[in-house]
Structure 1
Amino acid sequence: MKKEIGAWWALLTFVIMITAMFIAIVALEQGPHVPLIIGTITAAIVAKMHGFKWNEIEGMMYKGIRLALPAIVIIILVGLVIGAWIGGGVVATMIYYGLKLISPAWFLVTIMLLCAIVSLAIGSSWSTMATIGVAGMGIGLSMGIPAAMIAGAVISGSYFGDKMSPLSDTTNLAAGLTGTNLFEHIKHMLYTTVPALTIAFIVFGIMGRSFADISMKSEEILTTLTVMEESFVISPWLLLVPIGVIVLVAVKVPAIPALVVGIISGFLLQIFVQGGTTAEAVAALQEGFVIATGNEMVDELFNRGGLDSMMYTVSMTIVAMTFGGILEYSGMLKALMNVIIKMAKSTGSLIASTIAACITTNATCSEQYISIVVPSRMFAEAYEKRGLHSKNLSRALEDGGTLTSVFFPWNTCGVFILATLGVGAMEYAPYAILNFLVPIISIIYAYVGFAIVKMTPEEIAAAEQRRKKEEQEVTV
């Protein structure tokens, strides 16, 4: 007979996984796969102890994996894009002109602004990081800027656009699940996101000053440019490929066909523009592009990409979602949420609890979408009973869920960034300024009462009527 899993059991499962993760990553300097497997085994044992059958537990794991399948497909395609675009000379062209045009002192600000604009236009942080972000990493590293700083600027800009774009899936998800008008939701998020973006610009501007003395005519950079010219056909016409992919996504072509267009374009460019063989172009897609110029910087920049490079990411995503699936479908996550809700005694603590719940879900279930879906179900009634407009909840879901997913190495977003930008969550976390400032600003607003919207009497009456109708339907 099944018994409801208490919050303490759920917390124990979470603590064991986090402890194993800390030991593996910090003490042993290993990856997060084994700790996540330990977490999955622990969660399965707890579920079994509470009456769940093995076939039910197995089904929970498969449900979790199914949630991540769209992300896995995108991750695989991004590996192919990187291999194709490097082989086709697209990445080399972006880096080449970037080195010639962008000043080191303003690079961090420029790349953040560029990522924000592109992500706002296409509604996808992942697509932005896989295109503009990859090129930005190459340009910044060539200038001698630390990888973690560059990644932080790319992530901050990309997630601003992802959060504020009406084309973003997470933005539409948060608005839709809470019954909030999409543009009211976006407008309400301006209060927390714009101040965070402004602060990030200022901080990156100050950081950039330390690189002002780097000369764009230095011997190292000139050598890098020369080696790239010798190794690739560099042409501004090649920039039409990333521009084309961005335009396709902006006009609402789904991400998968848009990325496939980018892959095919890069593949053909490697053969017909760069002079590679068909076998080399196929190898770039499967194993990644390979080049040996003798220049350490160039070789490091361009020896990457391909399907094989994403298998670490794919395996981590699958393992993470087996753990998250058991937590979600066994009721353990719900038990943790209920404890959090009971602790919320004021408007400030309710919003802070929502953000904390989103962060907890990102940490435990390893998937950004779950961090919006589950808390939206758990907190909707509490917001209504306090007379708070649904856009307060939708904003809190994005502030706590969408943005904090990048801080967990085992979350699909943290995994994707590691695979795409080559920088781990522990390294870029201090520089993902927008991502950690927005939740803080949101909580401050909640406690001081700024930008918190109440429901009108008509909206309160409609909410009560809807609740009564739902209760009657359940009774029947």
Structure 2
Amino acid sequence: MKKEMTFKLAIIPLVVMIIAMAVTVIKLDEGPHIPLIIGTSVAAIVAWYAGFKWQDIEEMMYKGIRLALPAVVIIMLVGLTIGAWIGGGIVATMIYYGLKIITPSLFLVAVCVICCIVSLAIGSSWSTMGTIGVAGMGIGLSMGIPAPMIAGAIISGAYFGDKMSPLSDTTNLAAGLTDTDLFVHIKHMLYTTIPGITIALVAYAILGRKFANGAMDVHNIEQIIKVLEDSFVITPFLLIIPVLVIVLVAKKVPAIPALVIGILLGFLAQIFVQGGNVADAVVALQSGFVIETGNEMVDNLFNRGGLDSMMYTVSMTIVAMTFGGILENTGMLEAIVKQILKLAKTAKGLVASTVVSCFATNATCSEQYISIVIPSRMFAKSYREKGLHSKNLSRALEDGGTLTSVFVPWNTCGVFILATLGVHTFEYAPYAILNFVVPILSIIFAFTGFSIVKLTDKEKLELKREDKIAL
């Protein structure tokens, strides 16, 4: 007989996982896989103690993994894209012209704005970071700008579009789960997101000033440009490939076929533009591109990519989702959220609790989508009872879920960024300004009542009528 999943039982796996994570990641400087396996094991034991059969527990883990399979496919395709685009000279071309055009003092602002535009057009932070972000890291490093700053600016720009684009899966998910019109949802997010990106751009402009007036190593940049010219065929025609991928996704071509086209074109560019052979192009796809130029910075930047480079991220995603699958499907997460709801006695506290719960779900279930799905289920009824419009909930889900996923090293987003941009979560966190400013603004607005919209009497009657029909 199954026992009720109480808060005391539900919190055990979480506490054990956090302790194991702290010891392993912070003290031992190792990856988060083992702590998550420990957490999964403890969650399985607690579920068994509560009366769940092993077959059911196993199926819960598989359900969690199945939820992450679309992300796993994208992760692998991004690895292939990086390998193909480096081998095809596409990344080298973007870096070459970037070094020619962008000045160090404006770089952080420029790369953030570019990522904003691209991610808004295609609706994907991962695709933006895996393409434009990789080139941006190369340009910024060549200018002597610290990697964490560059990564933070790229992340802020990429997640602006991920949050605000009508093509974004998280944007559609948050609107759909809360039964909010998509464009009503996007319009309501402007209140927190526009001030957030404005603060971020001002901060990047201030940070960029220290790299002007002599801080720029002109000789170093000239040397890198010379190495790129000697090592790759640089032509503006190669820029057609990333532009084509962006246009395809903007035209609502799904991300997977659009990326596959980009990979194929990069593969062909390595053979027919760069003069490589088929074997080298295949190696770039499988294990990454390899080059020895004698310039350490160029070698470090371009010796990367390929399917193999993403296997750490893939395994991390699978392990994380087994933990999240058990927590969600046994009711452990629900028990934790119910305890949080006891503290949210007012409308103000409810919105703040939603934002905090989304971040907590990101930390416990390690997946951005779950941080939107579960709180949307848990809080929807409470928003109605307190007379709040559903767009308050949909905005809080994105403010607390979509954006904060990057701050959890074992979350699929944090792991993806490490694999793609090569910067650890703890390093880029202070510079991913949009991602932490917006949740803070969301909580402040909740307690001040600014932009918190209540249901009209007509809307309340309509909801009651819909509830009666549903019954």
| TM-score normalised according to structure 2 size | 0.99
**Cα distance per residue 1:126-166 (max 9 Å; x no partner):** 11111111100010011111111000000001111111111
In 2, Cα distance between equivalents of 1:437 and 1:225: 36
Q: Which amino acid aligns with 1:379?
A: F
Instruction: Tell me the residue number matched to 1:361.
Output: 361
Partner of 2:83: 83
- The answer to whether the aligner puts 1:409 opposite 2:374 as a matched pair is no
| Cα pair 2:93 2:235 within 8 Å, conserved | yes
Note if contact 1:123-1:167 (Cα within 8 Å) is conserved in structure 2.
yes
Shift of 1:217: 6.8
CA positional deviation for 1:465: 2.9
Please name the residue that 2:2 is paired with: 2
- Is residue 116–residue 157 contact of structure 2 (8 Å, CA) maintained in 1? yes
Residue matched to 2:137: 137
Q: Is residue 321 of structure 2 the alignment partner of residue 324 of structure 1?
A: no
Partner residue of 1:395? 395
Aligned twin of 1:422: 422
Tell me what 1:458 maps to.
458
C-alpha distance in structure 2 between counterparts of 1:399 and 1:271, whole Å: 44
Contact 1:143 1:214 in 2 (8 A): no
Distance in 1 (CA, whole Å) between partners of 2:260 and 2:214 is: 38
After superposing the two structures, state which structure 1 stretch, 16-25 or 207-216, moved more.
207-216
User: Does residue 179 of structure 1 match 2:179?
Assistant: yes
Whole-angstrom distance in 1 between the partners of 2:4 and 2:130 = 43
Paired residue secondary structure (2:52)? coil
Residue 308 (str. 1) matches residue 319 (str. 2): no
The answer to whether the 8 A contact 1:124-1:158 is kept is yes
* 1:100 and 1:216 in contact (8 A); partners too: no
Separation in 2 of the partners of 1:214 and 1:390? 52
Kindly report which structure 2 residues correspond to 1:212-231, keeping only aligned pairs within 5 A, or say none. Answer: 212-214=212-214, 218-231=218-231
In the aligned structure 2, how far is the partner of 1:181 from the partner of 1:466? 16
How many pairs align?
471
Secondary structure class of the residue paired with 2:211: coil
Q: What amino acid sits opposite 1:383 in the alignment?
A: Y
Distance in 1 separating the partners of 2:118 and 2:99: 20
For the residues of structure 1 that align with 2:2 and 2:466, how far apart are their CA atoms? 32
Gaps of 5+ in 1: none
Distance 1:307 1:187 in 2: 38
Partner of 1:52: 52
Provide, for residues 350-385 of structure 1, a one-character-per-residue CA deviation record: whole Å limited to 9, x for no partner. Answer: 001111111111111111111111111111111111
Report how far residue 220 of structure 1 moved: 1.3
Instruction: Select between 281-290 and 215-224 the one with higher mean Cα deviation.
Output: 215-224
How far 1:213 moved relative to its partner? 2.8
Quick one: distance in 1 between partners of 2:437 and 2:237? Answer: 39
Which residue number corresponds to residue 262 of structure 1? 262
TM-superposed CA distance for 1:214, in Å, is 4.5
CA distance in structure 1 between the aligned counterparts of 2:216 and 2:413, rounded to whole angstroms: 34
Q: Aligned with 2:427: secondary structure?
A: helix
CA RMSD of the aligned region, Å? Answer: 1.0
**CA contact under 8 A between 2:112 and 2:154: conserved in structure 1?**
yes
Report how far residue 218 of structure 1 moved: 1.7
Shift of 1:168: 0.8
- Find the residue that maps to 1:144 and give its secondary structure: coil
Partner Cα separation in structure 1 for residue 247 and residue 318 of structure 2: 31
Matched AA of 1:346: T
* AA aligned opposite 1:256: I
Q: CA deviation at 1:215?
A: 6.4
**Match for 1:194: what amino acid?**
I
Distance 1:216 1:426, change over 3 A: closer
Deviation, 1:349, is 0.5
Query: Using the alignment, how far apart are the partners of 2:465 and 2:39 within structure 1?
Result: 43
**SS in structure 2 at match of 1:92:** helix
SS in 2 for 1:274: coil
Q: Distance in 2 between matches of 1:385 and 1:159?
A: 32
1:190-205 pair list within 5 angstroms? 190-205=190-205
Structure 1 residues 114 and 214 mapped into 2: Cα distance closer, same or farther (>3 Å)?
Answer: farther
1:85-126, CA deviations, whole angstroms, 9 ceiling, x for partnerless residues? Answer: 000000000001101100000000000000001111111111
The whole-number CA distance in structure 1 between the counterparts of 2:42 and 2:395 is 34
Superposed, 1:203-282 pairs within 5 Å as 203-214=203-214, 218-282=218-282
Counterpart amino acid of residue 178 in structure 1: T
SS at match of 1:36: helix
Shift of 1:75: 0.3
Aligned-partner residue type, residue 74 of structure 2: I
Match of 2:431 in 1: 431
Q: Matched residue of 1:240: which SS?
A: helix
Helix, strand or coil: the match of 2:139? helix
In structure 1, distance between residues paired with 2:15 and 2:216? 49
1:333 maps to 333
1:469 CA displacement: 4.2
Deviates more, 1:211-220 or 1:393-402: 211-220
User: Could you tell me how far apart the structure 2 residues matched to 1:378 and 1:356 are?
Assistant: 13
Tell me the distance in 2 between the aligned counterparts of 1:116 and 1:219.
31
Percent of matched pairs sharing the same residue? 70
Q: Contact 1:287–1:309 at 8 Å: present in 2 too?
A: yes
- Partner secondary structure for residue 293 of structure 2: coil
**Partners of 2:469 and 2:340 in 1: how far apart?**
27
C-alpha contact (below 8 Å) 1:104/1:214 kept by paired residues: no
TM-superposed CA distance for 1:216, in Å, is 5.9
CA deviation after TM superposition for structure 1 residue 219, in Å: 1.5
TM-score of the superposed pair, with normalisation by structure 1: 0.98
State the AA in 2 paired with 1:13. P
Question: 3-state DSSP class of the match of 2:291?
Answer: coil
TM-superposed CA distance for 1:12, in Å, is 1.8
Q: Distance in 1 between matches of 2:439 and 2:466?
A: 31
* Structure 1 residue 464, shift from structure 2 partner: 2.3
Distance, in Å, in 2 between the alignment partners of 1:137 and 1:352 is 35
* SS of residue in 2 equivalent to 1:452: coil
Q: Is the 8 A contact 1:287 1:306 kept in 2?
A: yes
Q: Does the Cα contact within 8 Å between 1:174 and 1:397 map onto a contact in 2?
A: yes
Given that 1:107 and 1:140 are in contact with CA atoms closer than 8 Å, whether structure 2 keeps it comes out as yes
Shift of 1:467: 3.1
Q: Is the 8 A contact 1:84 1:284 kept in 2?
A: yes
The answer for the alignment partner of 1:30 in structure 2 is 30
Q: Indicate if the aligned counterparts of 2:178 and 2:390 stay in contact, CA closer than 8 A.
A: yes
> By how many angstroms is 1:468 displaced?
4.0
For 1:81 and 1:213, the matched residues in 2 are separated by 36
1:11 deviates by 1.4
**Structure 2 residue identity aligned to 1:459:** E
**Alpha carbons of 1:392 and 1:462: their partners in 2 closer, same or farther (altered >3 Å)?**
same
On the 8 A contact 1:99/1:216 being kept in 2, the answer is no
SS of equivalent residue, structure 1 residue 72: helix
